[in-house]
Amino acid sequence: MQAINELLDRVIFRMGDYSLKLLAIVNVLLIIFITLIILWFIKKMLFRRSEIDEHEKGNIQAIYQILRYIGWLIAFGLALETMGIKVTLLLAGSAALLVGIGLGLQQTFNDVISGVILLTERSIKIGDVLEIDDDVVKIQTIGIRTSKGLNTDNISIIIPNSLITTSKVINWSHQSDKTRFRIDVGVAYGSDVDKVIKILEESANEHPEVYERELAEGRIMGFGPSSIDFQLLFFSKNTFRIGSVKSDIRRIILRKFNENNIVISFPQLDVHLKSTSKSLP
């Protein structure tokens, strides 16, 4: 036992009046190990139920992320104290340095603060479908500095958290599990408008991804220079893959228009040539 105490009391690093003993290193490793065990236990407790939906899973994940960052921050402070480094004195002595680092890493700190806001406010959760800068993204993880999402092309995108908190973001999953979408189409003048509206509504009802088919509605939106403009409104739960759903409905509309001799209009321009004759001298 005495040999173990002598080994742990051995100085492995010395600088001036400061000395680092092997016991301090062992204590730091012990702090890290205990932190990992506590975080593992917290995660097991939070996710102990197997029947967790995506909405609740996002909320639990946000809580776990906050507890995880707090746990590691406390562990880091204890590790410094164990190694004989006073955290308060370290912060006071390096105030000027921290100001310089803060100016250089201003955007990074902005992203970190935004991450804390996202995790605590929980206006955006894991599994939500967002529209950011005209790109539709399904959120997979929310980190302290960046979030990761998957776009409709199955490409993983790293998003700075400040972009989410400071930009205009559409959350397609925020209110309910269904969303109303629109398809615009213009037909030639002289077409039977009642038949066009009927075909638009039937086309939406034929698609399996359309939700509450009785709510599908065709409307006349206006009279354009060369077309009567219509709009098809329908609800769908498949917000993330809505581009594919719209494409399928447009194919159905085109097929039905061809079967009923309804022409989709296109811009037309009439050019009139005026000839002039000049008399020769």
Query: Which tens digit of pLDDT belongs to each residue from 207-254?
Result: 988 888 888 899 999 998 888 999 999 988 888 888 889 999 999 999
- When pLDDT is cut at 50, 70 and 90, the band that residue 49 belongs to is low
Cα 241 to Cα 154, 236, 247, 278: the distances in Å are 11, 10, 10, 65
Report the percentage of the chain scoring pLDDT > 90.
20
- Cα–Cα distance for residue pair 170/151, rounded to 1 Å: 14
Mean pLDDT of the chain: 80
Using a cut of 0.85, tell me whether the model's pTM lies above it.
no
CA distance 144 to 72: 13
Integer Cα distance of 193 and 219 in angstroms:
10
